[in-house]
Amino acid sequence: MASKNITLTMPAELVRRAKVLAAQRDTSVSGLVARLLEQLVGEVDDYDEVAEREHRMMSGEAGLQIGPITWSRNDLHQR
């Protein structure tokens, strides 16, 4: 995959702590940011997939079928 440079602006203390963390994990700050973004993008893709599947289910396109309703609200909530 081709790489592209970007510029980020962050507080100096955050950058310092990110460099320490990157060194502890034997990677770079760019590597940390890339991994985090990959996780976030993956979560969005997963969410979009689940939302689409639920939409299909609710619209009846999923092949799910519920039998005829043979009761009334009052039957279910007799007092």
Give residue 13's pLDDT.
97
Q: Is 44 helix (H, G, I), strand (E, B) or coil?
A: helix
> Is 43 part of any domain?
yes
Q: Is residue 3 situated within a structural domain? A: no
Domains identified in the chain, total number: 1
pLDDT tens per residue, the chain (79 residues)?
798 999 999 999 999 999 999 999 999 999 999 999 988 888 777 888 888 888 887 776 656 667 787 888 888 887 6
**How far is Cα 63 from Cα 79, in angstroms, rounded to an integer?**
36
Q: Return the residue matching tokens 């702590």.
A: 17
Residue 19 and residue 29 in contact, taking contact as beta carbons nearer than 8 Å: yes
Domain that holds residue 39: 12-62
Q: Read off the tokens for 73.
A: 């609200």
